[in-house]
Chain A
Amino acid sequence: MSSADAEGARFASQRLLPGLGPEGQELLREARVHVVGAGAAAGPALLQLSQAGVGTIYVDDGADVDGARDGDAASWLYSPGQVGQPRIFAAIEALRAASSFVQVRAFATDAEPTATLVCAQREPVARIAADRARRAGLPHVVALGNGDGGTVVTIPSGAPCFRCAFQPGATLPPRPGAAAALGSLAAVELLLVVARLFPGSGTGRRIDLAEGWPSVQPTVRTLGCDCQNVY
């Protein structure tokens, strides 16, 4: 089987999605996604972006695999035998094993991403990473966990920035499954943006997850914020 045939067979079911088709799959293949984080929410997102056919993924994480940290066990990426290894290398190994159709690299200054996904445990980290993506002119999605749920903010071109969309609140450690759901939802949002299936033009949205229930609202530019975010 040729490489093109193998790729066609791999993504045949996904290409049946209304509005996606071969053109949308090609947009995913051309995408280069910078993923910030490699923990409980980012792990499932990384795996699923690789498997969905995103062409290049840059992994960006500075922590080591920690056996005592619940999020590392829940990330779907690391086994207890990898405790002490840098998460970035363990994650790259796991993603390459999952799909040979994706290029996976460590994020570095010469990387040229076309979109960013931020999965953070703490709001200041999310804010800094979102600001960097905005200044780089990249559409981005930010996921921030909180106990049995969390928030996903989607910022395509022209949408209000993360600072406009997010109201800080208490941040609790993620419960089993909730962080994975949050990361998966963030991956869905990013794929919709990349494949040009995200509804509206110049609009963003915020999806809150609470006790297993999502609720969506459009984001609104805060009075005085000069973010334009036209990429």
Chain B
Amino acid sequence: MSALHGKTALVIGAGSLGGPAALALASAGDFRIVLVDAATVESADLAGQPIFVEADLGQPRGAAAARRLARLFPRLEVVASSRGFDEGSASELVRSADVVVDASSHFLTMFLANDAAVAAGRALAHGGLLNFTVQLLTVVPGVTGCLRCLFEGPPPPGPEAGVLGPLAGFAGSFLGAEAVRLLEGRPGAYAGRLLVHEARSGRSRSVPVKRRPGCAACRLAPGSRAPLPGGAS
């Protein structure tokens, strides 16, 4: 029995980030992973989503990913949620987990995950990817800043960006490793600081993410009565 026995990780998105994150998480022991992804596996997914194989084409992504995890890691309990992650399901799904992994590629879902996790007091490991750039952030409600402290809201829709599969694998693996740290009760490597890594230059930078006065998400956090750093209220 591992130290994670009895714990639950919610993974939102089973695609280019969520697949590697779930695989990395799964190798940590005997616990429970809930996967949420309502899309189906398409040919383009197979260019950079190592959790799927060609036989999964046309299958629901959450269920296909759950089957693969169960085959590779039989000690794990894997559940593919039949519900999508939306305003009707977000709160219940997040509250059923000990840690939330946001591996969605949709900005609206990212902010919904952020808001639900902060309101429920659940740590959130967030990953994002744009062309050759990766970003990772861990939100500890009531302690660190959140996605809305950093960006306030989703950006307007832009042109479709490319994805380099192994770069998503790199970010997703780190995301999974971060979720393991959080489940083990260790401090997150990206708690309160955004990692930005650009693959062509190989360079990384750290951006501090502090709680922002007036943040619409943080004021709903269970610890929101705690004073903000620097005496702001």
Could you count the A-B residue pairs with CB atoms below 8 Å apart for me: how many are there?
167
Whether, in the assembled complex, B107 has its beta carbon less than 8 Å from a beta carbon of chain A, the answer is no
CB distance from A66 to the nearest CB of B (A): 14
Given contacts A10-B43, A177-B176, contact A216 B165 (CB under 8 A): no
Whether, in the assembled complex, B145 has its beta carbon less than 8 Å from a beta carbon of chain A, the answer is no
Whether, in the assembled complex, A220 has its beta carbon less than 8 Å from a beta carbon of chain B, the answer is no
Contact of A11 among B23, B27, B47, B166 (CB under 8 A): B47
- In the complex, what residues of A have CB within 8 A of residue B72's CB? 73, 76, 78-79
- In the complex, what residues of A have CB within 8 A of residue B48's CB? 13-14, 48, 51-52
Whether, in the assembled complex, A160 has its beta carbon less than 8 Å from a beta carbon of chain B, the answer is no
CB distance from B136 to the nearest CB of A (A): 8
Whether B50 contacts A188 by the Cβ 8 Å rule is no
Q: Return the chain A residue nearest B72 by Cβ.
A: A79
Whether B47 contacts A51 by the Cβ 8 Å rule is yes
Whether, in the assembled complex, B178 has its beta carbon less than 8 Å from a beta carbon of chain A, the answer is yes
Give me 11 other A-B pairs in contact (C-beta within 8 A), A16-B161, A51-B48 excluded: A10-B43, A44-B169, A44-B173, A48-B166, A51-B47, A52-B166, A76-B50, A180-B169, A180-B176, A185-B170, A212-B189
Given contacts A51-B50, A184-B20, A212-B190, contact A18 B131 (CB under 8 A): yes
Q: Please, could you name 26 A-B residue pairs with CB atoms under 8 Å apart, sorted by A?
A: A9-B44, A14-B48, A16-B160, A18-B131, A20-B162, A44-B23, A48-B48, A48-B50, A48-B166, A52-B165, A70-B27, A74-B24, A76-B23, A97-B53, A100-B54, A180-B23, A180-B173, A184-B20, A192-B199, A197-B200, A199-B201, A211-B189, A212-B178, A216-B201, A216-B203, A216-B204
- In the complex, what residues of A have CB within 8 A of residue B177's CB? 148, 175-178, 181, 212
CB distance from B123 to the nearest CB of A (A): 15
- In the complex, what residues of A have CB within 8 A of residue B197's CB? 214
Q: Return the chain B residue nearest A185 by Cβ.
A: B170
